[in-house]
Structure 1
Amino acid sequence: MIDGVVFQKLEKYCDDRGTFMEIVREDQHLLRRFGQMSVSMSYPGVIKAFHYHREQDDLWYFVSGNAQVVLHDLRESSSTYRETDVYYMGEENPSVLLIPKGVAHGYRLLGIRPAVIVYLTTHTYNRERPDEERLPWNDPDIGFDWSTRFR
């Protein structure tokens, strides 16, 4: 696992009224500070990758749909520098993913339905000075193969 990344399985409580899950709690101390909570919907097959932040950490949770999430460590001082991790998140695997600053991240939607992601960040978005650096989805330095392989 990339140094500083936290992947946490969520506990779902069910009864005859429906379900309940705590996604993140202040007493878990996952975020150094809270800046913004956002939601995004993506269509099936879409790849949103790669970008990273110099200042902010992200905390991701997929509300609906399923995604293949790819992280690549760009932090030269990290013990996991240039390592790549893959996580499967969404309805079939409810989980939360903490992505530290300096770790490139992106995702590919799986299945035939749109997916909704809710994400929290440690800083608010600044249109004049966005803390967002972009890399191509097929960046040769990362070298990730986004295709699905069947065994």
Structure 2
Amino acid sequence: MLKDAKKDKQTATADGKLTRTLLDGIAPKETSNIITSNGITTEIYRPEWPIGPDQIRHIIHATLRAKAISAWHVHEYQTDTIFVTNGSIKLVLYDDRPESTTRGDVNVFLLSRLRPTLITIPPGIWHGLQNMENSDSSFINYFDRPYAYEDPDEWRLPLNTDKIPYRF
């Protein structure tokens, strides 16, 4: 063994579940790709799933250009639920909520259409997205409240801020 080599820590269980500490309120929901005779079907929302808002009030479809980064932003009231529809996207979450047991922690998710996963982001969690592909990637984002054009619930920091301990 070469000096200074470090042994990998466990990152997944034998049944494919990732091993990590999630930010308080973050609960990924993997869904299934159902292979049909003419394509692939994937459910992205069911009201009985323990994820997402109790009531969907607004849905958007967004595309990130090749290698694009959209960071950082947070909502004071709005809950986001993200589902990648095309390509591969890195989602980074930072918990700055004063009352949270995971304040100061970061979660990184690599999301892809190949392993469909919903991620719900509660209010107060800073988040940023990076397209990992050399072509467009896209996602659906649904919310528990409609976008308020006259008073957006959007707070932003620059990509290279020192206030969040993560660099894209």
> Where does the alignment leave 5 or more consecutive residues of structure 1 unmatched?
147-151
Aligned pair partner of 1:105 in 127, 130, 133: 127
Higher strand share: 1
> Greater relative contact order: 1 or 2 (C-alpha under 8 angstroms, separation 6 or more)?
1
Which residue is equivalent to 1:123?
A: 145
Q: How many residues align?
A: 146
How far is the alpha carbon of 1:15 from its aligned partner?
A: 2.4
How many percent of aligned residue pairs carry the same amino acid?
Answer: 25
Q: Distance in 1 between matches of 2:158 and 2:90?
A: 17
How far is the alpha carbon of 1:32 from its aligned partner?
A: 3.2
> Where does the alignment leave 5 or more consecutive residues of structure 2 unmatched?
1-21
Which residue is equivalent to 1:38?
A: 60
TM-score in terms of structure 2 length: 0.83
Counterpart of 1:27 in 2: which secondary structure?
coil
Query: Where do 1:1-151 residues align within 5 Å?
Result: 1-30=22-51, 31-146=53-168
Instruction: Judge which range, 70-79 or 92-101, deviates more.
Output: 92-101
How far is the alpha carbon of 1:143 from its aligned partner?
A: 2.4
Q: Distance in 2 between matches of 1:32 and 1:49?
A: 26
Runs (4 or more) in structure 1 with deviation over 2 Å come to none
Q: Distance in 1 between matches of 2:49 and 2:145?
A: 18
TM-score in terms of structure 1 length: 0.92
Contact 2:32-2:115 at 8 Å conserved across structures: no
Q: Which has the larger radius of gyration?
A: 2
Q: Distance in 1 between matches of 2:79 and 2:124?
A: 9
Q: Distance in 2 between matches of 1:16 and 1:29?
A: 30
